[in-house]
Amino acid sequence: MVDHGCGPLSCCNRPMSETRWLNDDEQRMWRRYRHVNQLLELAMERQLQRDAAMSQSDYSVLVCLSEADGPGLRARELGAALGWDRSRVSHQVRRMEGRGLVAKGTCAEDGRGTVVSLTPEGARAIGEVAPKHVEKVRQLFIDALSDDEVLALTNIYDRIIARIDEIDGITLPS
């Protein structure tokens, strides 16, 4: 529980020491959410490995770079977009650079920051795997939902994202 300065009572007017256990329906929903998340992550990882010999981390970096407005992104901007710390970005970029998917350079604007950009091989890789990846997303997730359910889930996710920001101050760029 986050201390919002409400004193001895939490924001829901219960003593801070009183645990708000999940009821049976809430517990089932939470566990199903976690299960679905794990299964989707595993299925997406397997698809990327099978079709492109890349990880979801590789794919995430390639997507960010392919959607960037300019020729690349500063390493710190890439990390912010992915929700990664500096060390994780550095290690991931180094591995991908070794495989010829990305290149590092110095920022032309100030000469201080590191800019990460797609190589022709990285652009080819994302161009080849993205259609297969989106088809897998569609097969496993989108096609299981009606149009109304897609809108409802989007609204639910938006509320949860806003709540995480409000309570814990954690955000990712949209």
Nearest to residue 70, comparing CAs of 116, 111, 114, 110?
116
Full-model pTM: 0.83
- In tens, the pLDDT along 1-57 reads 444 555 444 555 556 679 999 999 999 999 999 999 999 999 999 999 999 999 999
CA distance 102 to 124: 11
pLDDT at 1: 45
pLDDT at 14: 58
- In tens, the pLDDT along 76-130 reads 999 999 999 999 999 999 999 999 999 999 877 776 789 999 999 999 999 999 9
pLDDT at 13: 59
24-140 maps to which CATH number?
A: 1.10.10.10
Give the residue extent of every domain in the chain.
Answer: 24-140
